[in-house]
Amino acid sequence: MTDNIVEKIQREHDAILSELDGLIEEAGSEQQQSRAEGFLRMERKLQTHMYAEERVFSPLLAGTLQERIEESLDDHNRIRRELREAFAARSLKPGWRAALAELKTLVRFHVENEEVLLNELGDGFSDADLEGMGRRFEAEKQNYLGALAELSHGSGEAV
Ligand SMILES: [Fe+2]
Ligand SMILES: [Fe+2]
């Protein structure tokens, strides 16, 4: 499997969008439990992805990429807000599907914006740099997941 950050990110975009499609398809089901579980799985993937992008892209803040990166951050924050709203709507029948559809629109729009950033990255850096970034991207994802696991372990002990 490639370490190239551009290919890694594109693969994750495809995976997240298809998970969102699956959630929208199942939005009418009565299974509230699996509905929440599927959402939380997709949410974790998306939050981890955005966190790692922010950690890896921020050091590149310079010249032409700066504006793109700031736009990306705004998109991420919009997506995070919609994730909270969608989760809050999980027990409302019409609201749930609408919130998921809105989330998917935001994610698809962001993915299109990010393609421009990814192209600039691909053109501006050597293969070795892009592979180094890909490894840092994976390491940042592990940091995020590790921090989440620590948090849930901590709260488990507190109860
Ligand atoms: Fe992304
Ligand atoms: Fe992003």
pLDDT truncated to tens, each residue of the chain (159 aa)? 789 999 999 999 999 999 999 999 988 777 767 788 999 999 999 999 999 999 998 777 767 788 888 999 999 999 999 999 999 998 887 889 999 999 999 999 999 999 999 998 999 899 999 999 999 999 999 999 999 999 888 765 544
C-alpha to C-alpha distance for 23 and 101, rounded to whole angstroms: 10
Question: Which pair of tokens denotes residue 53?
Answer: 């992008």
Cβ neighbours of residue 112 closer than 8 Å, sequence gap 6 or more: none
Quick check: is 153 in a domain? no
By three-state DSSP, how is residue 103 classified? helix
Work out how many domains the chain is built from and give that number: 1
- Domain residues for 139? 5-148
Quick check: is 155 in a domain? no
Quick check: is 68 in a domain? yes
Ligand 1 center to residue 124 CA distance, Å?
18
Q: How many CB atoms lie within 10 A of CB 144?
A: 18
Type of residue at 85: E
Quick check: is 130 in a domain? yes
Ligand 1 center to residue 7 CA distance, Å?
11
Ligand 2 center to residue 134 CA distance, Å?
14
C-alpha to C-alpha distance for 7 and 118, rounded to whole angstroms: 9
Q: Which long-range contacts (CB under 8 A, 24 or more apart) does 57-61 make?
A: 57/117, 60/121
C-alpha to C-alpha distance for 149 and 47, rounded to whole angstroms: 14
What integer pLDDT is reported at residue 68 of this predicted model? 87
Ligand 2 center to residue 53 CA distance, Å?
6
